[in-house]
Amino acid sequence: MTSVAEAPVARVERRLLDGELGLDAHLARHGRLPVLDGSQIIGMARDAGLTGRGGAGFPVWRKLSAVAAGGGAAVVVANGAEGEPASKKDRALLAYQPNLVLDGLQLVATATTAEGAHLYAPKAALPALRALLAARAAAGLDRRPVTLHAAPDAFVSGEESAVVSAINGRGAVPADKRIRVVQAGVGGAPTLVQNVETLAHLALIARYGAGWFLSAGTPDEPGTFLATISGAVRRPGVVEAGYGVPLGELIAAAGGATMHLQAVLIGGYHGGWVPADPALPVSRQTLQPYGASPGAGVIVALPAGACGLGETARITGYLAEQVAGQCGPCINGLPRMAATLADLAARRPRAGLAAEAERLARLVSGRGACHHPDGTARLVLSAMRIFEADVAAHLNGRCLAAEGQR
């Protein structure tokens, strides 16, 4: 772990969300995209160490190379679905700095020699984007026309294969992964699906260089990320910071905690619970011991007095409702897991209740067309660990939060 002395700049810092609104302001501030060829774009993404901001954190240059190697008529997709209820950052980005996303989309189209470019986002965001695309066309900005698609409001609608299926006109449900979308996606063409924030970072890297990008974040996890902070904070909303930013600084940037915090959910509904330690750096490396990761930057602060098991049961119930009814272990396992958590939260103890929650979590993991069961299991397992004392109390018919002991 990095010691305090050698800790790099990892502070709240505005890059994406800086600047005035509108195309004129965008061009005045950042100028037009420099002319770059495909290998230059892929090289810059690699040198910058840019990773996906949609949750999985996969290196962008590798996906770009894979799709470029597919040869010929590739397709690129900007994914702004943001099906996660606790996330607001992609909506914020599309509302305040959509030009960065559209610039990034053109860059990845060039890098993969794509013919088709698509932007997939919630319906409410589309009218403004349509007007902006027209203004950009009039300014001679976009070499490839961009097609807009409405993302349904469902948790799994932003999963990569669901995005492809939606654009193919078959409904936003995930597909089997034996053939990956980078091989055959939209219209059967090699397809690159990239989160809108990832594309916006690429648009800045193309202008200011990999070295500039590396000056934020940690050496292993460079750059800034958008965090959506909610729960027991004074000003819930979207904050931008370098990876490795201490949790306390993120909370402070959201106006500070409204009361003492007992735990924080990081990485969203597919994420993990971590202790509310203000010094905890938010990075993959430091969160991994908790089974968590920054994911798509969702942070939910749980106040003292709230029951972590109750909150986990509520989220698990929601996730069980969001199952795209396709895969047996997910269709059956998630509702069962939710019911088990609900019993635990409501202090309806029975023999083996806690062990049953963990068994189900392990049983469903890896057994679906998408990672929805795995993500749900991760949340449940992290809750069983961090709320261990609450589990023990609930099994004895008591609740530490209700008794004011948390």
Partner 1 sequence: MKLHVDWTACDGRGVCTELLEEVLVEDDWGFPVARDGQRSPTVPPPLEAAARQAVDRCPMLALKLRSR
- Residue pair 74/114 in contact by the 8 Å Cβ criterion: yes
Select the span of 54-62, 234-242, 255-263, 284-292 touching ligand FMN (CB under 6 A). 54-62
Residue 386: DSSP 8-state: H
Out of ligand SF4, ligand FMN, partner 1, none, which partner does residue 160 contact, by CB within 5 to 8 A per kind? ligand FMN
Binding flags for partner 1, 353-372, as an x/- string (CB under 8 A):
----------x--xxxx---
Phi, psi of 371 (to 5 degrees): -85, 15
341 touching partner 1, by CB under 8 A: no
Binding flags for ligand FMN, 342-381, as an x/- string (CB under 6 A):
----------------------------xxx---------
Give the strand pairing for 114-122 and 74-79.
parallel
Alpha-carbon Rg for the chain in angstroms:
21
If the CB atoms of residues 166 and 401 are measured against ligand FMN, the closer one turns out to be: 166
Q: Which long-range contacts (CB under 8 A, 24 or more apart) does 387-396 make?
A: 387/263, 387/273, 387/308, 387/309, 387/312, 390/307, 390/308, 390/309, 391/309, 391/344, 391/354, 394/309, 394/344, 394/345, 394/347, 394/349, 395/344, 395/349, 395/353, 395/354, 396/349
Q: State the distance between the two ends of the chain, measured CA to CA, in whole angstroms.
A: 29
Residue 257: DSSP 8-state: B
- Residue pair 391/384 in contact by the 8 Å Cβ criterion: yes
332 touching partner 1, by CB under 8 A: yes
Residues that contact partner 1, how many (by CB under 8 A):
17
328 touching partner 1, by CB under 8 A: yes
For residue 313, what is the enclosing H or E element?
helix 308-321
322 touching partner 1, by CB under 8 A: no
56 touching ligand FMN, by CB under 6 A: yes
Residues that contact ligand FMN, how many (by CB under 6 A):
22
Give the strand pairing for 191-195 and 74-79.
parallel
327 touching ligand SF4, by CB under 6 A: yes
**Rounded to whole angstroms, how far apart are CA atoms 333 and 319?**
11
Out of 8, 70, 83, 222, the only residue in the binding site for ligand FMN (CB under 6 A) is: 83
Out of ligand SF4, ligand FMN, partner 1, none, which partner does residue 323 contact, by CB within 5 to 8 A per kind? ligand SF4
For residue 81, what is the enclosing H or E element?
none
Residue keyed to tokens 């397992």: 381
174 touching ligand SF4, by CB under 6 A: yes
86 touching ligand SF4, by CB under 6 A: no
What would the two tokens of residue 43 be? 């090289």
79 touching ligand FMN, by CB under 6 A: yes
Binding flags for ligand FMN, 174-193, as an x/- string (CB under 6 A):
-------------------x
If the CB atoms of residues 370 and 400 are measured against ligand FMN, the closer one turns out to be: 370
329 touching partner 1, by CB under 8 A: yes
Tell which positions 133-172 bind ligand SF4, by CB under 6 A: 156
* Cα dihedral: 183, 197, 123, 295 (round 10): 80
Phi, psi of 215 (to 5 degrees): -75, -5
Out of ligand SF4, ligand FMN, partner 1, none, which partner does residue 332 contact, by CB within 5 to 8 A per kind? partner 1
**Rounded to whole angstroms, how far apart are CA atoms 362 and 284?**
22
If the CB atoms of residues 309 and 330 are measured against ligand SF4, the closer one turns out to be: 330
171 touching partner 1, by CB under 8 A: no
Residues that contact ligand SF4, how many (by CB under 6 A):
13
Select the span of 5-13, 197-205, 215-223, 369-377 touching ligand SF4 (CB under 6 A). 369-377
**Bridge partners of residue 257, in order along the sequence:** 233
Out of ligand FMN, ligand SF4, partner 1, none, which partner does residue 86 contact, by CB within 5 to 8 A per kind? none
185 touching partner 1, by CB under 8 A: no
**Rounded to whole angstroms, how far apart are CA atoms 267 and 247?**
13
Which residues lie near ligand FMN (CB under 6 A)?
52-56, 58, 79, 81-83, 155-156, 158-160, 193-195, 198, 370-372
Which residues lie near partner 1 (CB under 8 A)?
174-176, 178, 326-330, 332-333, 336, 363, 366-369
